[in-house]
Amino acid sequence: MAIVLHQFPISHYCEKVRWALDYKGVDYRVKNHLPGLHLKKMKAVAPFSSVPVLEHDGHYVQDSAAIISYLDTQFPARSLTPQSQEEREEALRWETFCDDNIGPHVRRYCYHTLLDHPNLVIPFFAKGGPFWGKAFLRAIFPKLQGLMRKGMQIREPHVSDSRVALEQSIQTLSQAYQGRTYLVGEQFSRADLAAASLLAPLFMPSAYGLDWPSSMPEPLQTWVNGQAEHLAPYRRFYQEERG
């Protein structure tokens, strides 16, 4: 049963799936794509051009939430989806909340700074790809940067709106974790995995698999430092559950 994860190593949605695969002990290999060049390849096998895409014996599943549901069906050991209907629905609601209210805003707010530092971000994009990847990305970076800023609306007022939305969502999660270890029930679930993986670029855990810098460029790092207390539960999940 050949399992391939088509991904960007930097993508926190791809990290969400990597974590699920590792948590469940599923053997797989990754296929790292270069931003831009992935578009046609993904559209050939899935409805949209985005990653992650899971390939399993010629069957393709796109979108991190759909992939986790698929994995829990095909590989039920260490299920990330609670068994009771009430807890299952609650876990899915929290996962959707993180997918919609954390993931896009982390991406926009971080890239707003990172795209001004090609020497930092190009190795993230090229990691694990073809040997010519870095040189290719350096050559096209001005165009790639423009396309990313346009496609993800990485401009004002959207960047400031994302910062505010992110602060509000982090606060919502912090309140939900008050007095409890997990978002749903008494064990780690897809809800906790979504929250931790999608926030991970802010605190740069080593298990993510990137060669992070010692700190992010300013003003991003100062803002992250201000969120440190709220990010502590997700650091703990990486220590205890990422493995």
| Residues forming CATH 3.40.30.10 domain(s) in the chain | 3-74
Q: Which amino acid is at 200?
A: A
Mean pLDDT of 171-178: 97
pLDDT tens-place string over residues 43-83: 777 777 689 999 999 899 999 999 999 999 999 999 999 99
pLDDT at site 221:
97
Kindly report the CATH class assigned to 3-74.
alpha beta
85-242 has which fold?
Glutathione S-transferase Yfyf (Class Pi); Chain A, domain 2 (1.20.1050)
Band of pLDDT at residue 153, cut at 50, 70 and 90? very high
pLDDT at site 48:
72
User: In this prediction, what percent of the chain has a pLDDT beyond 90?
Assistant: 92
| Residues forming CATH 1.20.1050.10 domain(s) in the chain | 85-242
pLDDT at site 1:
59
pLDDT at site 44:
73
pLDDT tens-place string over residues 106-137: 999 999 999 999 999 999 999 999 999 999 99
User: In this prediction, what percent of the chain has a pLDDT beyond 70?
Assistant: 99
Contacts with 48 (C-beta within 8 Å, 6 or more apart), sequence order: 42, 62
pLDDT tens-place string over residues 205-242: 999 999 999 999 999 999 999 999 999 999 999 999 99
Q: How far is CA 218 from CA 93, 109, 112, 222, in A?
A: 34, 12, 11, 6
